[in-house]
Amino acid sequence: MRKKHLYILFAILIVSAVLLTACGGKKLGTEENPIIWAVVPSGETERVVSGFDQVADMINQETGLVIKPFVATEYAGVIEALCSDPPKAHMASLATFAYILAHEKGCANAVLVANRYGSPVYNGQIFVRADSGINSLADLKGKTFCRPDPLSTSGWIIPSITLKAAGVDPDKDLAQIVDAGSHDASVAGVYNGDCDAGASYVDARTRIEEDYPDVMDVIKVIEVSADIPNDGVQFVTGFDPELQNQIVDALLKISETDAGKEALDTAYQWNALEKHDDSFYDAFRQVLDAAGVSPEELQ
């Protein structure tokens, strides 16, 4: 019997060796084969990268796993990285709509949701310059509009639905739609007169107060959206459960420390993290369904 057990153990070692060879002999979570965490800057890229680098270092200290943040220019790039074969990213921090789209493609599963200001949900806003003479959504016909990203939930998906409900067809009635690249840039674009109106999360104006001290007075909010689930941390479908649990436990532990809170705030203005699976987004899916909108139509 003991001899049989030795044969079984030897067979397992052989299979493991074959699998490692097939993967180039590089174990995931090492310097040679790091876990890729794909993100899109919600604000100034250098700040976001700095925050995620700090968080990745803290996870490494807790678990020994090597995680490398990958910064994409837009959410479509992150979804593509998750859905490629083999995946070019192992985990991500997608905004609500982008996550739903990635999940429907079978590429990602939600595990953690961010908490900001004591809540796992947030709101979007549409804004204009206070001196623009624009007072309602109907006034936006023929105007230029700054959005952070075509797949930004608060910066475009919900605003575009809201505009249509107000009788403004974004594709036909807006003079131009400008992809600003981030929520900060969307606000700055309206402040500087590059766009007549714009959208972002509430309240992205505070992120540029250092450069534009009067932004809260100059930029006027004319519409606030219904509740939207926060972004968070998602893992590519089929990711190793053991590694996932290690990372999740480390992130939850880090989020309770002063240094961790500072790093998470620098990265994405996360104040804490909560465990939530895909069902957390079902209420938002119902909002899209009620508006007659499907993720595929808006990608």
C-alpha to C-alpha distance for 275 and 110, rounded to whole angstroms: 9
Dihedral sign for Cα atoms in the order 57, 62, 68, 74: negative
Extract the tokens encoding 237. 């479908």
pLDDT confidence of residue 43: 63
The answer to the question of residue 72 being in a domain is yes
pLDDT confidence of residue 299: 56
- Contact between residue 53 and residue 69 where contact means Cβ atoms under 8 Å apart: yes
111 and 237 inside one domain: yes
173 and 235 inside one domain: no
pLDDT confidence of residue 1: 47
Report pTM.
0.72
Indicate the residue among 225, 244, 259 that finishes a domain.
225
113 and 136 inside one domain: no
pLDDT confidence of residue 97: 87
pLDDT confidence of residue 36: 97
Residue found by looking up tokens 């990608």 in the block:
299
The answer to the question of residue 11 being in a domain is no
Of 99, 61, 60, 70, whose CA–CA distance to 83 is shortest?
Answer: 99
CA 106 to chain centre: 17
200 and 254 inside one domain: no
CA 252 to chain centre: 18
101 and 148 inside one domain: no
Of 156, 121, 127, 118, whose CA–CA distance to 40 is shortest?
Answer: 156
pLDDT confidence of residue 104: 93
273 and 190 inside one domain: no
147 and 270 inside one domain: no
181 and 243 inside one domain: no
Of 271, 289, 287, whose CA–CA distance to 120 is shortest?
Answer: 271
C-alpha to C-alpha distance for 118 and 110, rounded to whole angstroms: 20
- The tens-digit pLDDT sequence of the chain (299 residues) is 444 443 333 333 333 333 343 344 579 999 999 999 999 876 678 888 899 999 999 999 999 999 999 988 888 999 999 999 999 999 999 988 899 999 999 999 999 999 988 999 989 999 999 999 999 999 999 999 999 999 888 999 899 999 998 999 999 999 999 999 999 999 999 999 999 999 999 999 999 999 999 999 999 999 998 888 999 999 999 999 999 999 999 999 999 999 999 999 999 889 999 999 999 999 888 878 777 777 666 55
186 and 164 inside one domain: yes
Which structural domain, as residue segments, surrounds residue 96? Answer: 31-120+229-298
pLDDT confidence of residue 9: 39
The answer to the question of residue 6 being in a domain is no
The answer to the question of residue 61 being in a domain is yes
What CATH number is attached to the domain comprising 190? 3.40.190.10
pLDDT confidence of residue 42: 65
- Total number of domains in the chain: 2
Please name the residues in contact with 173: beta carbons below 8 A apart, sequence gap of 6 or more. Answer: 140, 141, 142, 163
142 and 115 inside one domain: no
134 and 85 inside one domain: no
The answer to the question of residue 175 being in a domain is yes
Indicate the residue among 194, 225, 256 that finishes a domain.
225
Indicate the residue among 170, 194, 225 that finishes a domain.
225
Report the length, in residues, of the chain. Answer: 299
